[in-house]
A = this chain, B = another copy of it.
Amino acid sequence: MAKSYYSMVLDHPADDVWAVIRPFDHYAWAGVESETVIEHGKAGDQVGAIRRVTSGGRVLRQILLAHSDTDRFYTYGFCGAPPFPVQDYVATLRVTPVVADNTSFVEWWATFDCAAEERDKWVNHFEKEGFAKWLAALRQFMAKQQGRGPRRNLTSAVRPVA
Chain B residues whose C-beta falls within 8 Å of the C-beta of A80 in the assembled complex: 161
Name A90's contact: one of B103, B105, B115, B162 (CB within 8 Å): B162
Pick from B6, B76, B87: contact of A100, CB below 8 A.
B6
How many Å lie between the Cα of A2 and that of B115 in the bound state?
Answer: 12
With a cutoff of 8 Å between Cβ atoms, the chain B residues found around residue A162 in the complex are 62-63, 65, 76-79, 88-90
Encode contact with B along A82-102: 1 for CB under 8 Å, 0 otherwise. Answer: 000001111000001111110
What are the interface flags for A132-162 relative to B under an 8 Å C-beta threshold, 1 for contact and 0 otherwise?
Answer: 1001000000000000000000000110111
Stoichiometry, as copies per complex, reads: 4
Given contacts A98-B7, A112-B1, contact A67 B70 (CB under 8 A): no
Report how far A95 CA is from B137 CA in the complex, Å: 26
> Is B66 touching A66 in the complex (CB atoms < 8 A)?
yes
Chain A interface mostly: strand
Q: Could you tell me if B100 and A135 are in contact, using CB atoms closer than 8 angstroms? A: yes
Q: Is A28 interfacial (CB 8 A cutoff)?
A: no
Q: Which residues of B contact A157 (CB under 8 A)?
A: 48
Residues of B within 8 A of A20 (CB): none
Top 4 closest A-B pairs, CB basis? A77-B162, A66-B68, A1-B111, A8-B100
Q: A interface vs B, CB < 8 Å?
A: 1-3, 5-9, 42-43, 45-48, 62-63, 65-71, 75-80, 87-90, 96-101, 103, 105, 107, 111-116, 119, 127, 132, 135, 157-158, 160-162
